[in-house]
Structure 1
Amino acid sequence: MASTATSFCSPPLTSSRASVLRQCQQLNPNRLSFPINLNTAKRAPNLTVQHAPLPLKVLCARGKRGTTAKKPATSDPVYRNRLVNMFVNRILKKGKKSLAYNIIYQALKNIQQKTQSNPLAVLREAVNGVTPDVAVKARRVGGSTQQVPIEVGTFQGKALAIRWLLEASRKRSGRSMVLKLSSEVMDAAKGTGEAIKKRETTHKMAEANRAFVHFR
């Protein structure tokens, strides 16, 4: 038996090959119980490596998108308020963030001078007044486009309110964005202004198209 094993293992193992064989025998002693010709094994044709099958959970998770967690909103460096930073990020144009910060801070200072109250409280009241409960989204229904009512979450409602406030501010007469934004925020806090009208129009449209709720 020993002579058969010796004739099978040709040429003799060197020190490096012997160390490799010793490591392989330690990993799987049952499969490597006899000597192996490493030179022949390297040049063996049709040598395939069989991997263990992946679990079903891993296969189902492949190609899944949209699972990244949303980053939490950060606060601004002066007021330490997330709502102010949301205004800054949405009024930002062409990467000029210092200009966006300047517009928002000057508008808040103008609100404080005119109302003699906390400008953050006025800003929060304006956003809460403009935030819609429902919104409408265009969907293709039966060959025609219908405005389908959809529910609005807290973050999405605030984003819509800020967008409507900024759009209404830009449509105001005048050249100073600081004065237009501060005036629109103060009007929205009182329950008036174009942003409040936009919210009421959206609610009326959603009520008129409530028959298409099941198409969302």
Structure 2
Amino acid sequence: MVLIQKMRLQTLIKFLDPIRLTNIGVVKSYSVFPPNHVKPVFRKSEQALLKETGEAEKLAHVPIRPPLDSETSSEFYDPVIAKFTNYIMRDGRKNLARSIIEQTFEKIKRTQLMRYHKASPEERHSIILDPKEILYKAIENVSPVMELIPIKRGGGTYQVPVPLLEKRQKFLGSKWLIKAALDKPGEVRYHDVLAKELIDAANNQGRVVKKKHDLHKQCEANRSYAHFRWT
């Protein structure tokens, strides 16, 4: 009986895909949708642009993945704010993270309006009143273009400067802003400190901007180790 079962198993293995044989006993998670399914275009402005350029006709018969729960065509949806909210969130408490973002934007609006009314007519045009633009500009100003990674060569570990992709740049800039706001006195509210950090970063000032410049200086100082990336 055991011999018959072994023969059946060997026969079954012959018909299996040789590539999948390497994954026997290994649990791997695969995407529900094949790689030929393209990402959905759910924003109305992007859909209108596709229709103008004629790209919409090419996508008419292409399999498309359904959008995520967080992706919506609402005019209040913003991918940068949604991602920044996810960075703030801890332990899955997204309602709390959204509340912090709303309070931060309200604080930014009040601060910028006070500065606007106190400024002279010549200075008012340079004051940004939209909190979303403040967030965009803050992330852009604090996003580094290089970072240091440890690489072992010859028994020693060297801090090697490497260029960053745009996604990594935005991630580091956002995390630095959030971490800087956490370093606050106990009696100060978090959204007040975060609003101040965003306004300072939008004006190319503050601790996070200094941190980016310090990182760039360290990369410049370690430029002699840059060749270790390819060795």
Relative to the length of structure 2, the TM-score reads 0.63
- State yes or no: 1:97 paired with 2:57: no
Per the alignment, residue 108 of structure 1 pairs with 105
Instruction: Quote how far apart the aligned CAs of 1:195 are.
Output: 0.7
Work out whether residues 75 and 85 of structure 1, in 8 Å CA contact, stay in contact via their aligned partners in 2.
Answer: no
- Work out which of the two has the higher radius of gyration on C-alpha atoms and give 1 or 2: 1
SS of equivalent to 2:161 = strand
Aligned to 2:214: 201
Q: Read off the aligned partner of 2:204 and give its amino acid letter.
A: G
Cα 1:165–1:78 shift into 2, 3 Å? farther
Structure-1 separation of matches of 2:84 and 2:220: 29
Aligned mates of 1:205, 1:172 — CA distance in 2: 26
1:78-128 deviation digits (Å, cap 9, x = unpaired): 941122122222222333322221111110111122224111111000000
Identity %: 27
How far off is 1:206 after superposition?
1.1
Structure 2 residue corresponding to 1:119, chosen from 117, 122, 131: 131
- Which residues of structure 1 form unaligned runs of 5+? 1-42
- Between 1:204-213 and 1:141-150, the stretch displaced more is 141-150
Partner of 1:18: none
For these two proteins, the number of residue pairs brought into alignment is 173
Aligned to 2:177: 165
- TM-score, scaled relative to structure 1: 0.67
Matches within 5 A, 1:1-216: 46-47=3-4, 48-49=7-8, 50-51=11-12, 52=14, 54=16, 57-58=19-20, 74=70, 79-116=76-113, 117-173=129-185, 175-216=188-229
RMSD of aligned C-alpha atoms? 3.3
Write out per-residue CA displacement over residues 136-169 of structure 1, whole angstroms, 9 at most, x where no aligned residue.
1123333333211122111111110011101111
Long gaps (5+) in structure 2:
36-66, 114-128
Aligned partners of 1:75 and 1:112: how far apart in 2? 26
